[in-house]
Amino acid sequence: MIAVEGGISVALVVVTAAGVTRPTWLLVAGLAGYRSRTYGHTATLLPTRWWPPFCLVIDFVAAAILVVLLAVGVDFH
């Protein structure tokens, strides 16, 4: 089970990193996907109740800003 969880997390990090040099949509997908995936795990591990939702909102806002910029036609490369 740990290997599966780790493999999925590594794959999402690789997708996000690929978005730096390849289509920026990979960055959006990796950012939103990784945070969605880890939200449930971090919510049970951290002592503060507000931190996981805060991180979730920050990452989704960053992904949303990238989506808007991409839709407008901003070229990041």
Count CB neighbours of 15 within 10 A: 18
- Per residue of the chain (77 residues), give pLDDT as tens: 678 777 877 888 888 888 888 888 888 888 787 777 666 666 566 667 777 778 788 888 888 998 999 899 888 76
Provide the pLDDT for residue 41: 62
Count of alpha carbons within 13 angstroms of residue 30, beta-carbon side = 18
Give the domain ranges of the chain.
2-72
pTM: 0.65
Provide the pLDDT for residue 33: 79
**What contacts 26, CB < 8 A, 6 or more positions away?**
15, 16, 18, 19
Provide the pLDDT for residue 68: 93
Which class for 28: exposed (0-12), middle (13-18), buried (19 or more C-beta within 10 A)?
buried
